Structure 1
Amino acid sequence: MRVGIVNDLRIVAEMLRRTVAETEGFSVAWVAYDGEHAEMLHRADPADIVLMDLVMPGMDGADTTAKIMSIKPCAILVVTATVTGNRELVFRAMGNGALDAVTTPDLKDAASVAEFRRKLISVSRLVGQKKNGPPAKPTAPVHAPPISHRHGKVPVIGIGASTGGPQALATILRRLPAGFPAAIVIVQHLDCQFVPGLQRWLSQECALPIHLAKENEPVREGHVYLAETRDHLIISRGVDGYPHLHYTTEPEDSPYRPSADVFLNSLAALRHTDCVGVLLTGMGRDGAEGLLALRRNGAPTFAQDQASSVVFGMPRAALDMGAVEEHSSLSAIADGILRFVQGIAKKPKATL
């Protein structure tokens, strides 16, 4: 796997070069010391993965990410000394196409280097799956019956997102009013150490309260829950009759942690609950099978359109599988979710 390195500090760039070169299966494609140089090098010799600094003279890392993604999309991993201090830049870079972020490794700290390599290998698995994995087998569209009103206290909107997801999520959530009559559960591909920052950032962007999902937490209408750990988030009905959130390590070999497929499949298995599935921009194909399971159960399913996606991989995989009822812009997805929950409110209450 060929890696490009962008960092204005030559000592850090050299440290990253050595770490990559000493990691089995990786080689250094090029090293750039500013955004303009990175743009030129990637145009001439596209890398599979780019390690992106954030604070640089001239173009910052967020703008450089946008340039590189416009030349030839690739997996971009933000490498920064401080995530909390650069929170706005981190999420702007992710909105422009960065896949994830990691703290700059310290060669004197074995745990720090191990975590960096773990993240690099994790990103490479997504790239390898995209390049070498079999394409999704096209299937005939699923002509699902209209969803009927089911006995369930809390409608649930399940959303999966990856590359470019933070900005896409903010765009949808901004259009949903306070007191929104459904729970929203989000699985965003993001290292767990950065999820609290995403929670704070999204809280500033919309009227709905944003929570980090806790083990065995019941979901409530008008609240948004973010998968918080490296384990997979699932949903099931508790003894109180309400849907509850749980974490599971299975499947352990999934390249996506947390996985949108795992959550959406658990949502499809949640009987007597009105639900919606949404798949947003992202590299790979995570979420497509879970979205198909929801559609086969009669739930409305939405996927972001190519024009507004930073990377069209996940929505395209869902389209190829016939899992998508509506293929839409972000504003249209938000409007479709609103129409669905308004339709539930107008239906008579069902009884067991």
Structure 2
Amino acid sequence: MAVKVLVVDDSSFFRRRVSEILELDSDIKVIDFAVNGKEAVEKAAQLKPDVITMDVEMPVLDGISAVKQIMASNPTPILMFSSLTREGASATLDALDAGALDFLPKKFEDIARNSEEAIKSLQNKVKEIGRRRLPRFVSPFATRQASKPATSQELDSNTSISQPDRTFQRAAPVSGSSASLKASGKKYQVVAIGTSTGGPVALQTILTQLPSNFPHPILLIQHMPAAFTPAFASRLNSLCKIRVKEAQQGDRLEPGVAYLAPGGQQMMVEARGSSKTLRVFEDDSPRITYKPSVDVTFASAAKAYHGDVLAIVLTGMGADGRDGARMLKQVGATIWAQDEKTCVVYGMPQAVANAGLASEHIALPEVAARLNKEVGC
């Protein structure tokens, strides 16, 4: 059955372009268009699409406000289109925080190395998020909304954002869940986390629950454009007790600091005597699809730290992280994977799980507690 898509944009040219690209795939059907956020909210309720593609900047009601209202009243997987600017990055992160599942650059030439690859990327993202049930955990946005009074704008809107968020329902505790497991007693020197689609919310969910005295450095590899990683690192740093920064060439790894791999570059760990530093560099290799790549960072961690690594693979499309996890496993490192039910896209964790590399499969709401227990926090 074809994935039904509502395309939302105030540009008739862009609406037509997106529609033409999507309908090149017989598994996708564009069922209607909306020219502003208000119309998107109304048509989401009327048409019940499987996926909504949404522009950020629109008249009448902007994309972020539209996402908030749709996720409060008619939860639907939403893919944002964004400009690759500092303002565009900030607005897109706001939209993800509000409940959108993923984003793509509005200039299709920024998606991939050629037009055919860009077309496939858009089609695959729409099909992946359209065929997945929305994750059953509490989003950071929903949590904050519940703890603060609604603004006058929200109260005046047709759908109050302060209503219960039906999209993200915390799963009931299960007997024998990973959070109840005892720490393994293994000693670590670093934690490495790789993710893609759904990763910004997943990382925020985990990192905001770590204490300021977290005993190890943390390596973060999130598939994200170069224009977005500075804003994302800054946002995480403002929300977390640990320090979060965009990684820079020569950074010395320190406990309680998370280093986010810069978009468009690779991040590797290098051993310099007893200390470990980061190598951040441009990578023009056609053999490596992702920049940053989870495989590249994991492989370097295996060489620098051997088995003293706790690696976690979170939600994301594709299989990036599997080969790096295999190298880590071979030197005695520990690998965890996010479970299927709480993934936006169960691709990367599934690849690791199917390869028999993960020792635990953990629901997203339990990862931070399990991690804190494992490292002795």
TM-score computed with the length of structure 2 as normaliser: 0.67
Q: Is the 8 A contact 2:195 2:223 kept in 1?
A: yes
Q: How large is the RMSD of aligned CA atoms in angstroms?
A: 4.1
Match of 2:93 in 1: 90
Q: Deviations over 1:78-125 (max 9, x none)?
A: 2359652672553442673533342x55xxxxxxx7436759744734
Match of 1:52 in 2: 54
**Distance in 2 of aligned mates of 1:251 and 1:281:** 25
Q: Is the 8 A contact 2:245 2:259 kept in 1?
A: yes
User: What's the secondary structure of 1:207's corresponding residue?
Assistant: coil
- Bigger mean CA offset, 179-188 vs 317-326: 317-326
Could you tell me which runs of 5 or more consecutive residues in structure 2 were left unpaired when the two chains were aligned: 129-183
- Bigger mean CA offset, 28-37 vs 212-221: 28-37
**Distance in 2 of aligned mates of 1:188 and 1:7:** 26
**Distance in 1 of aligned mates of 2:81 and 2:101:** 7
Match of 2:120 in 1: 124
Q: Is the 8 A contact 1:126 1:255 kept in 2?
A: no
Q: Is the 8 A contact 2:194 2:221 kept in 1?
A: yes
Q: Is the 8 A contact 2:265 2:280 kept in 1?
A: no
Match of 1:14 in 2: 13
Decide which of 336, 343, 346 is 1:302's aligned counterpart.
336
Deviation at 1:215?
1.8
**Distance in 2 of aligned mates of 1:77 and 1:96:** 11
Match of 1:286 in 2: 320
Match of 1:217 in 2: 251
Could you tell me which runs of 5 or more consecutive residues in structure 1 were left unpaired when the two chains were aligned: 106-112, 133-145, 344-352
**Distance in 2 of aligned mates of 1:333 and 1:248:** 32
> Structure 1's 127 and 18: CA in aligned 2 closer, same or farther, altered over 3 A?
closer
> Structure 1's 42 and 221: CA in aligned 2 closer, same or farther, altered over 3 A?
farther
| Match runs of 1:1-352 below 5 Å | 6-9=7-10, 12-15=11-14, 17-18=16-17, 21=20, 29=30, 31-33=33-35, 34-36=39-41, 39=44, 51-55=53-57, 57=60, 60-63=65-68, 76-80=79-83, 84=87, 87=90, 89-93=92-96, 96-102=99-105, 104-105=106-107, 114-115=109-110, 121-122=117-118, 124-125=120-121, 155-239=189-273, 241-247=275-281, 249=283, 251-272=285-306, 274-342=308-376
User: What's the secondary structure of 2:320's corresponding residue?
Assistant: coil
> Structure 1's 54 and 19: CA in aligned 2 closer, same or farther, altered over 3 A?
closer
Q: Is the 8 A contact 1:301 1:324 kept in 2?
A: yes
**Distance in 1 of aligned mates of 2:7 and 2:86:** 17
**Distance in 2 of aligned mates of 1:85 and 1:77:** 11
Q: Is the 8 A contact 1:259 1:286 kept in 2?
A: yes
Q: Which letter does structure 1 place at the counterpart of 2:253?
A: V
Q: Deviations over 1:286-342 (max 9, x none)?
A: 212322332333222221222322222222222111121111123432233223322
Q: Which letter does structure 2 place at the counterpart of 1:124?
A: K
**Distance in 2 of aligned mates of 1:238 and 1:203:** 27
Q: Which letter does structure 1 place at the counterpart of 2:371?
A: I
Q: Is the 8 A contact 2:295 2:320 kept in 1?
A: yes
Q: Is the 8 A contact 1:281 1:304 kept in 2?
A: yes
> Structure 1's 114 and 221: CA in aligned 2 closer, same or farther, altered over 3 A?
same
**Distance in 2 of aligned mates of 1:253 and 1:94:** 33
**Distance in 2 of aligned mates of 1:89 and 1:252:** 28
Q: Deviations over 1:53-80 (max 9, x none)?
A: 135556745348869x966x68x34235
Deviation at 1:157?
0.7
Aligned length: 311
User: What's the secondary structure of 1:193's corresponding residue?
Assistant: coil
Q: Which letter does structure 2 place at the counterpart of 1:13?
A: S
Identity, % of aligned positions: 25
> Structure 1's 212 and 117: CA in aligned 2 closer, same or farther, altered over 3 A?
closer
> Structure 1's 94 and 244: CA in aligned 2 closer, same or farther, altered over 3 A?
same
> Structure 1's 242 and 224: CA in aligned 2 closer, same or farther, altered over 3 A?
same
Q: Deviations over 1:11-56 (max 9, x none)?
A: x232453487599x78994533342466479856x67xx6421355
Q: Is the 8 A contact 2:223 2:290 kept in 1?
A: yes
**Distance in 2 of aligned mates of 1:195 and 1:119:** 23
**Distance in 1 of aligned mates of 2:21 and 2:311:** 42
